[in-house]
Chains A and B, each alone.
Chain A
Amino acid sequence: MRQRGFPLFPLVRHTLLLAWAAVTLFPIYWMVMTSFKQAAEWVTWPPRWFPHEPTLVNYVKVLTPGTSTFELGRQTLKILKPIGDSLIVSGIGSLIAVLLGSALAYSWARFGTGGRSYPYNILSIRMVPPIVIAVPFVVYFVTLRLLDTYTGLILVYLATSLPYVIWMMLAFVEEVPVELERAARVMGASRWKVLRSVVLPLTASGLVVTFLFVFILNWSELLLAMTLTNTEVSTIPIQLNKFQSANEGRDYGPQAAIGTIATLPVVVLGFLIQKHLLRGFSFGLLRK
């Protein structure tokens, strides 16, 4: 369908869209460029839009083993361990959440288990700002000796991911034709056989998408991670925050390297599930 009576429209459109694209790309561009700059080029006037002598030294600095090094009064925090910890905590937490949440979504969609309001109740729990539960969580976890442990943070991420998993998987499960399942049942398949041979293949892509989605959420989480860990466990957002306060944010290059490292995998994953990202956020209101 063509736009009528407005010959300059394509030009105006491209101008406006390009403007917003520039706004979007500018901070990302700057961070990636800074991560390749030598210390002398971090702060200059006028600022340098390209590194004159590109270097990998920032990446080498943050990716060497250990916790931190001091150099010229600057503290450089390392991120090999936080990367590992982030992978462990977000990976395991998201995986268990997807297993439990998808089973629950299926059970609710088919049997109405837990009552009509169940998913809404779960969702309303998720709407409470995390800071509200953070305060007692520390006291509770100290009492249970779960503070600053992998298990503790995994349990918390499991609980906070479940509502998203349930709502996302509801949309996928509702797309599986019930007739197909009934037919399989009539032909003598057990419930578990139906689950394995009918439902699982039809929702497999949904499971992957849901896993990646909650993985990204947990990978990015700062507040609860910061509250419930101390020295034993440390995720990437925590490390970046520590770094920022350790040097008053003046160690630009290595921090930009950490930012780039933390961003890259998520952007790649995000693009893989771009088409489905919305389901996690749409509360089942947008189905296509």
Chain B
Amino acid sequence: MTAAGAPGAGGLRRWLERERVFKWLPFVPVQGLFALLLLPNFLLLVYLSLLSWRITRGAWWNAAFTGLDSFQRALEDSRFLWALARTFAFAAVAVPLELLLVFGLAMLCRRSFRGRRIYTSVFLLPMMIVPAVVGYDLSMLLIDQGPFNQLLSLFAGRTVTVRWLSEYTPAQLAVIGADVWQWTALTFLVFTAGLAGLPEEPIRAARVMGASRWQIFWHIELPLLKPVIAIAVILRSMEALKMFDYPMLLTQAGPGNATETVAVYLWRVGWEFARVSDAAAMSLILLVAVAMYILVAIRVLRRERRRLTEEGAV
């Protein structure tokens, strides 16, 4: 970027020093990127959804408008609706499970004791592993003659062969299990930080006044933990609704469509079946389905952050 009309290096330096230039300098490329990359993309998404275009049928700009046909097809496509419902259902099972699990673990690790640092380091490991690798890794553990069935047999005292990857419910449990295994780590991180950041005074005051452990937890600690719980829920449900890697590598979305999430199905409609317009319409429906959730999430974040900065100012 050069200063138009500014003579020489001194002029450029003076131009860069102006507050207006200085503060807008990083905004120009970022806004430019979003304007050139995401905006046309979104318009294209809307445009494509109004066609009935497939990759194999000539250029998209020559395709004729068919109005809302692809939306109608999408809403009548039970496989799509099932994938959508399944994605939300997986999130609805996995996220509370992770929260409960982490709540227990974080409480156990709350006060310092010998070995605490080793435990926390181990617990954080899964979140650093590439999700695709997690999917593959579990697919290896869960084969019929795999170590997981061996462990189950050991505990049960007889030979147990659960067909984790080729039966309906076990496969769904496997995918949810992959999510829980990997993302309990992140939730644990959020909770330990939240617990460590709890202010001492109100808790001590309550104890002096004779409050029981349970009362302190229920009336003081839990309300103070609200922002932490909010972060954990928002973050986890956000990621869970995107679930793609685990079904892809762990179960190939099978058996049948038992573990086909909406991301996997849209990918297949767009690429394997080459029905781009249908995929675009489904994308928009998905966008509407998550928009409410995003609005609520952002509102909660804003409120909690404002509260935090106000408290910090006192």
Contact = CB atoms under 8 A, between A and B. Distances in A.
B17 A282 contact: no
Please report whether the interface of chain B is mostly helix, strand, loop or mixed according to DSSP: helix
A267 B128 contact: yes
Contact of A255 (B136, B189, B297, B298): B136
A220 B131 CA distance: 7
Given A245-B252, A267-B125, A286-B193, A262 B104 contact: no
A200 B248 CA distance: 42
A135 to B, nearest CB: 5
B132 A263 contact: no
A184 interface: no
B41 A136 contact: yes
A111 B19 contact: yes
A130 B242 contact: yes
B109 to A, nearest CB: 7
B126 interface: yes
A135 B231 CA distance: 29
**Chain A, interface size: which category?**
35 or more
B42 to A, nearest CB: 7
B231 A281 contact: yes
Contacts of B141: 26-27, 30
Contact of B138 (A27, A240, A271): A27
Interface in B67-126: 101, 104-105, 108-109, 111, 113, 115, 119, 121-126
B194 interface: yes
Interface in A16-30: 16-17, 20-21, 23-28, 30
A222 B193 contact: no
Interface of B: 13, 16-17, 19, 22-27, 29-30, 33-34, 37-38, 40-42, 44-45, 48, 60, 101, 104-105, 108-109, 111, 113, 115, 119, 121-134, 136-141, 143, 145-147, 150, 181, 185-186, 189-190, 193-194, 196-197, 227-228, 230-231, 234-235, 238, 241-242, 244-245, 248-249, 252, 262-263, 266-267, 270-271, 276, 279-280, 283-284, 286-287, 290, 294-295, 297-298, 301-302, 304-305, 308
7 contacts: A20-B123, A43-B145, A45-B150, A136-B42, A139-B44, A222-B131, A281-B190
Interface of A: 1, 3, 10, 13-14, 16-17, 20-21, 23-28, 30-31, 34, 43-47, 49, 100-101, 103-104, 106-107, 110-111, 113-114, 120, 123-125, 127-140, 155-156, 158-159, 162, 190-192, 216, 219-220, 222-223, 226-227, 236-237, 240-241, 244-245, 249, 252, 255-256, 258-259, 262-263, 266-267, 269-271, 274, 277-278, 281-288
